[in-house]
Structure 1
Amino acid sequence: MSALMVSISGVRGIVGETLTPEVVLAYASAFAEYCGYGTVVVGRDSRVTGELVRQVVFAGLVSSGCKVIDLGICTTPGVQVMVKHLKADGGIIITASHNPVQWNALKFVGNKGFFLSKEDNTIFMPLAAKSGFKRVLWDEVKKIEAYPDAIRIYTQKLLKFSLINKLAIKKKKFKVVIDCVNGAGSVMCPGLLRALGCRVVELNCKPDGLFPHEPEPTPANLKQLCAAVKKHKAHVGFAVDPDADRLAIVSEKGVAIGEEYTLALCADYFLSRKKGPVVVNLSTSRMINDVCEKYGVKLTRTPVGEINVSTELVRQKGVFGGEGNGGAMAPEIHACRDACTGMELVLQYMAASGKSVSGLVASLPSYAIVKTKYDCSAVDMARAFDRFKNGFPGGAVDEQDGIRVDIGKSWVQLRKSNTEPVARIIAEAPTAAEAQQLTEQAKALLFG
């Protein structure tokens, strides 16, 4: 049996195995207390277990005395924005993001629309371990209020983004294939693209939670989208994960360019129009270093985890940020990862430059990145980290999140995942051979 994953990314597990109704009820009840028994916004992705988890979350919140605002199926960034918009005391997002269909999860959002920080979790998480929770009497039970306007409000906010010229995009009459993996993006992404004047071909945009392929939008999982882009002679293909906070891009040639290019392309356009501090995580491609150097702006790296990037982005009054898994952040909209923000910026870059996706990719420095993950249940990770730290003589070591070692234009990182029971190794170098060599060396150090 897999373990319940409890981390800065929330609580996730396999439904009926580790993420049981009892577990969900405990965490929902604890969050009610954390929020002072106030108003809590709830949204979910389209997973087949979403309705089950949602009803248990409602029971925990309402029986504790909270008012609930139910957004129904909504993207993760959409829920975050609505928590702030509705001036709620907190939010719960029911989504396991890129994890396979048997998983589900609870992500907890504070009253400013950001995930709980490490410090916040030191207060919240012990509440869930209690043996009893407050329960109100019948005459103190508050309403569950359906709120159907979340997608419309968030879409309008995106359309008012100052760096987006809707007319310029509309004039290009871009044909776009969008793959929403039958997730929450299905209720938002096609509509946004049409509002921008694109000709839209929908692929897997039925929000029934039946994922037609592995939901993580990596190149290996985007063969159907690549074929559709070529078939329809589209200008670009977009793929999002089930909660639409990550974006992957397919070029007009039907080639999945890799999620790392999402952030680099967005940053390249963004900084050409508005300069300022940029914040990304430690696992993001060094393409972002080159882009920031090009525009002479400060780049800061944080541990993996959206809240780590968001917190630093807000603290520095940064203009742009994100994570290398395809999550772009524009604080003008909200300092959270959002596939829709990424789609807008890529389309705007294409319109403003007159270049294709392939042309834009060719304008960026080229690196090869290899991402692997390994079952680490039998590994003494403390010893593995020690071996790793000392395994690359002369490299610059960063210990903010696992161990990252930079060697010239290359780097390699070993870290434990926040979302899966695995260890992740990421290696990047100027050539594929060099990146693969670093990966093999790192794997040997992991397993001793």
Structure 2
Amino acid sequence: MERSLFGTNGVRGIANEELTAELALDLGRTIASLRPGLIAVGMDARISSPMLKSAVLAGIMSSGSDAVDVGITPTPALQYYVKVSKANAGVIVTASHNPREYNGIKFVSHDGVEFSREEDAEAERTLLSKKFRRAGWNEVGRVFEDDANRVYVEGILEKVNADAISEKGFRVVVDCGNGAASFTSPEILKRLDCEMYTINCYPDGRFPARLSEPVEENVKELMDVVRAVKADIGVAHDGDADRATFVDEKGNFVSEDVMLALMAKHYMEKNGGGIVVTPVSTSKCVEDAVVEAGGEVIYTEVGSPVVAKVMKETKAVFGGEGNGGLIFPEHLLARDGGMSLAKVLELMAEENKPLSELAKDIPRYFTLKTKVECRDKKKLLEGLKAEFEDANFTDGARVDFEDGWLLIRPSGTEPIARIFAEARSEKRAKELLELGLEKVRKILGS
């Protein structure tokens, strides 16, 4: 069965239109039917989140399970709480970096890992069948409260070299994007004895200051403040704080792929090699850095649940996506913005170098992206297999050349195909992008 409600990260839609209280109620019943027992529920700071969280809690209770309401919390904090507590599963109400009118509901397994695609498919079957557990009047569940943010922050501090960071007394600017990081990242910096400047570090589901996604064009204020206060580093989060992007001491945005490569290289050097897992859409600079440091890269389909699953299977020492979503398996098999912040500070302290100097060691590539209409994804994939017999078909078709690579990938959620091209020169990247466009047009007859 093709999943229609569950996408690459749970169920998402416009709040109270596509993702309604009724649907949230049934999703609460679904998780309690599949994973009966204590279930932890958290939410981001969106305007619709309290409504949807309340409906999820009601669904869980009606199925006879108890729930722990942890309030506004980053997605990785909810996941870490589930991992270390007695909870049998978790639910996070969030649409991550999507626009403010959206919201989402995502399920978490007992080990803190997001539901796999297979588990999401099982959840969708249960949801559509409406064969839920239903408790008697005297067996309905109860709701407790707990502080997942405290548990999460303390878990992070236990797994970084806090003394080395504290000795440096870093000056840090943090932009929480009016999201859930407002309750955790400033506390992490405070506990690490950093001199801290905050931007948008109060929850506001309207996202009044900037768009939620922490890409370069949305964090210009952070870049300006880093320069103005002569900070050592700046960090920005998305709405649910599973991602972190960085600005160096000169106020320059450091690309997400470079940060992924930098941290992957660091983990290779600390572990004497090992496996790094990342999607096929990731920049070649990551593989270059990992291989040079004696490690190996395994490529997966796009999507953090897939990356986490393969990391667990291969006992990878590091992984992540080229969007600011870094995964530190010794802490949590999930994208983790708070741990990313702490680990980047640890790297700067241990290497005794500013971020701009560390980033210089990562090979530079030019990456271009575009998208085209594609209503026949099966036809496109069959055509790509004929055009590129030696391609990697893990997720779409990734074709590696001596001087770059090309990825053509049908979207899992929209009637489009995404085309990525990367090379050492901008000219070659443009040539590869045009090659991709030509092949897609030829296959689809457009």
Q: What is the TM-score normalised by the length of structure 2?
A: 0.92
Cα deviation digits, residues 315-351 of structure 1 (max 9, x gap): 2222111111111111111121111222122112212
Deviates more, 1:236-245 or 1:207-216: 207-216
Match of 1:436 among 408, 430, 433: 430
Q: Match for 2:398 among 384, 395, 404?
A: 404
Go from structure 1 to structure 2 and tell me whether the alpha carbon gap of 1:416 and 1:203 turns closer, same or farther (over 3 Å shift). farther
Check 1:178–1:255 CA distance in 2 against 1; reply closer, same or farther (3 A cut).
same
Rate the CA distance shift 1:388–1:180 in 2: closer, same or farther, 3 A: farther
Shift in alpha-carbon separation, 1:210–1:61, aligned structure 2, 3 A: same
State the distance in 1 between where 2:258 and 2:328 align.
16
1:424 aligns with one of 418, 426, 431: 418
- Give the equivalent residue in structure 2 for 1:257: 254
Equivalent position amino acid for 1:399 in 2: F
In 1, Cα distance between equivalents of 2:200 and 2:413: 24
Deviation at 1:69, TM superposition (A): 0.5
Alpha-carbon contact 1:155-1:192 (below 8 Å) kept: yes
Residues 277 and 297, structure 1, Cα contact 8 Å, conserved in 2? yes
Structure 1: tracts of 5 or more residues without a match: none
Counterpart Cα distance in 1 of 2:412 and 2:105: 13
Root-mean-square deviation (CA), in Å?
A: 2.1
Alignment-derived partner of residue 138 in structure 2: 139
Contact 2:257 2:286 in 1 (8 A): no
| Residue 347 (structure 2) aligns with | 349
Question: 2 CA distance for matches of 1:418 and 1:200?
Answer: 40
In structure 1, how many angstroms separate the alpha carbons of the residues matched to 2:212 and 2:24?
23
- Deviation for aligned residue 1:425: 2.7
Shift of 1:45: 1.0
Structure 2: where are the runs of 5+ without partners? Answer: none
Q: Measure, in 2, the Cα distance between the counterparts of 1:11 and 1:441.
A: 35
Determine whether 1:413 maps to 2:407.
yes
Number of residues of Structure 1 aligned to a counterpart in Structure 2: 438
Secondary structure of the structure 2 residue equivalent to 1:137? coil
Counterpart position of 1:243: 240
Q: CA deviation at 1:130?
A: 1.4
Cα pair distance change 1:175/1:381, threshold 3 Å: same
Counterpart pick for 1:221 among 214, 218, 222: 218
Distance in 2 between residues matched to 1:215 and 1:419, nearest whole Å: 20
Letter in 1 for 2:316: G
CA distance in 2, matches of 1:59, 1:359: 52
Does 1:331 find its partner at 2:325? no
Could you tell me which residue of structure 1 aligns to residue 205 of structure 2? 209
Measured after TM superposition, the shift of residue 191 of structure 1 is 0.9
The match for 1:359 among 344, 357, 360 is 357
Q: 1:341 to 1:373 in 2, by over 3 A?
A: farther
Q: Any idea what SS the aligned residue of 1:185 has? A: helix
Structure 1 residue 418, shift from structure 2 partner:
4.9
**More deviation in 279-288 or 134-143?**
134-143
Structure 1 Cα separation of the partners of residues 12 and 158 of structure 2: 34
The structural deviation recorded for 1:410 is 1.2
Contact 1:42-1:91 at 8 Å conserved across structures: yes
**Hey, what's the Cα distance between the residues in 1 that align with 2:63 and 2:135?**
6
The 8 Å contact of residues 6 and 121 in structure 2, kept in 1 or not, is answered as no
Change (3 A) 1:418 1:51: farther
Aligned mates of 1:423, 1:102 — CA distance in 2:
25
- For the structure 1 residues 60 and 115, does the alpha-carbon distance in structure 2 shift closer, same or farther, using more than 3 Å as the test? same
Q: Secondary structure at the match of 1:299?
A: strand
Q: Map of 1:72-111 to 2, 5 A cutoff? A: 72-111=71-110
Contact 1:219/1:256 (<8 A) preserved: yes
1:388–1:156: structure 2 CA closer, same or farther, 3 Å change rule? same
Q: Which amino acid aligns with 1:15?
A: A
- Cα-to-partner distance string for 1:412-446 (whole Å, 9 max, x where unaligned): 22224456675433222112332233334434544
- Paired residue for 1:32? 32
- Whole-Å Cα distance in 1 between the matches of residues 326 and 251 of structure 2? 22
Q: For structure 1, which segment, 241-250 or 5-14, has the greater mean C-alpha deviation from structure 2 after superposition?
A: 5-14
1:272 equivalent in alignment to 2:272 = no
How far does the alpha carbon of each residue in 1:269-304 deviate from its partner, in whole angstroms, 9 at most, with x for none? 222222322211211111111121122122211111
User: Helix, strand or coil: the match of 1:315?
Assistant: helix
- Which amino acid counterpart does residue 305 of structure 1 have in structure 2? G
Contact kept in structure 1, 2:287 and 2:296, CA below 8 Å:
no
Distance 1:388 1:214 in 2: 36
Tell me the amino acid that sits aligned with residue 229 of structure 1: V
Q: Is the 8 A contact 1:266 1:342 kept in 2?
A: no
Q: Distance in 2 between matches of 1:138 and 1:325?
A: 47
Distance in 2 (alpha carbons) for counterparts of 1:31 and 1:160: 31
| 1:143-162 matches, cutoff 5 A | 143-148=142-147, 150-161=148-159
Assess, with a 3 A threshold, how the Cα gap between structure 1 residues 240 and 347 changes in structure 2: closer, same or farther: same
Shift of 1:82: 0.9
After superposition, the Cα gap between the structure-2 partners of 1:372 and 1:235, relative to the gap in structure 1 and judged at 3 Å, is farther
Counterpart code for 1:144: V
CA deviations on 1:384-433 (whole Å, 9 max, x unpaired) are 33444555x6x841111122221223112222445667543322211233
Give 1:222 shift.
1.5
Assess, with a 3 A threshold, how the Cα gap between structure 1 residues 186 and 330 changes in structure 2: closer, same or farther.
same
Q: How does 1:172-183 map to 2 (within 5 A)?
A: 172-183=168-179
Task: Report the identity percentage.
Answer: 37
Work out whether residues 84 and 111 of structure 1, in 8 Å CA contact, stay in contact via their aligned partners in 2.
Answer: yes
- SS of the residue corresponding to residue 138 of structure 2 reads helix
CA distance 1:359–1:205, shift in 2 (3 Å) = same
In structure 2, the partner of 1:115 is 114
Distance 2:37 2:414 in 1: 32
Question: Would the aligned equivalents of 1:389 and 1:405 in 2 still touch at CA under 8 Å?
Answer: no
Query: 1:284-295, aligned counterparts within 5 Å?
Result: 284-295=282-293
Does structure 2 retain, via aligned residues, the 8 Å contact 1:396–1:407? no
CA contact (8 A) 1:26 1:60 kept: yes
Amino acid at match of 2:242: D
- Partner of 1:62, secondary structure, is helix
Give the distance between the partners of 1:25 and 1:404, measured in 2 at CA. 40
Q: Distance in 1 between matches of 2:113 and 2:414?
A: 22
Matches of 2:107 and 2:223, distance apart in 1: 35
